[in-house]
Amino acid sequence: MTVWFFLPLLVAIAAALGSRLVQSRLDPVIGTWLLTGLAAGSAVTVFGAVALVSLTYVAGVAWIADRVGWCRTLAAANHAPNTVVGVVSLTLTVCAVFRGWRVLHRHHQIARAPATEEVVIVESADVVAFAVPGRPGHVVVSTAMLEALSSDEQSVMFAHESAHLAYRHHRFVLVGSVAAAVLPVLRPLARQIVFSTERWADEVAAAHVGDRVLAAQAIATAAFAASSPAFALGLADLGVVGRVDALLNDRAPTKVAGRFGGATVCALAVVCLGGGIVQLHHVASLVLHICAG
């Protein structure tokens, strides 16, 4: 065990706790990309470290080593953990794989939902509108939502949902969701990724209608909507107050703030990358000690 084992986890915790502060200093487009990259890097690095411990422990179990033909010196060469650490690491690895697979499977099932039209209008008393990823993706709007919004506000709504589909926001959300499933400490970071995609779509919609006040008004009206299904990005999802405030006050990040936020995220990403490289070196060392038969 070295500092490179614990450092990625500490960075992931810092990223999760500071994601809201960093996100507020970045343009939503840049923020979405950087936060998503940070989430993915943190999850992969920490998961890799835990998986490495698990593999080393499993390789050190005599009957397993004999069955697969691993070298007897493998465990010693890679500082095999004790039983408690090994079992805990193995359990965490299996749980992380299962949770990550479950998120991916759920997303795959939703993305396969059939849709013959780009816009699907459903008869419902619930005020909902959301984008559903797929090939092609589609927008689902309830009749109650159409009745609740004026024609101008409907233009904002459709522009917002179309932005989610056009810029593939579900992919960013999926990466954040998988990262949070693998490493639960990243859940705040995953929420900020969703918020950032909503801000991104808000800005696109505001530019489309040419009226930030109208965009904010439409979001506030749609805030009465019920929760959208998983992976369905909706007009009234997450942080409505903050999004309306950003539109009304036109709080575009300054160059200095943007550079600070970007530099902070990049610095954290570099630390995660460094930890990942060290872990990859250990994995390579482990593989080199495996016998052919």
Q: What is the pLDDT of residue 227?
A: 47
Cα distances (angstroms) measured from residue 229 to each of 128, 140, 144, 189: 10, 11, 17, 20
- Strands annotated E in the chain: 119-122, 129-132, 138-142, 233-234
Q: Cα(223)–Cα(189) distance, rounded to whole angstroms?
A: 23
Q: What is the pLDDT of residue 44?
A: 84
Q: What is the pLDDT of residue 86?
A: 82
Record the pTM.
0.80
| Contact predicate 177/186, CB 8 Å | no
- CA-CA-CA-CA torsion for 68, 70, 76, 77, nearest 10 degrees? -130
CB atoms within 10 A of CB 88: 15
Q: What is the pLDDT of residue 179?
A: 93
Give tens-digit pLDDT for 26-49: 789 988 988 898 888 888 888 888
Q: What is the pLDDT of residue 289?
A: 55
Give tens-digit pLDDT for 115-128: 667 888 889 888 88
Residues of the chain with pLDDT under 70: 1-8, 19, 21-25, 62-80, 113-116, 224-238, 251-293
Residue 110 in tokens: 């939703």
Q: What is the pLDDT of residue 68?
A: 59
Domain boundaries along the sequence of the chain: 3-111+254-288, 119-249
Side chain identity, residue 47: F
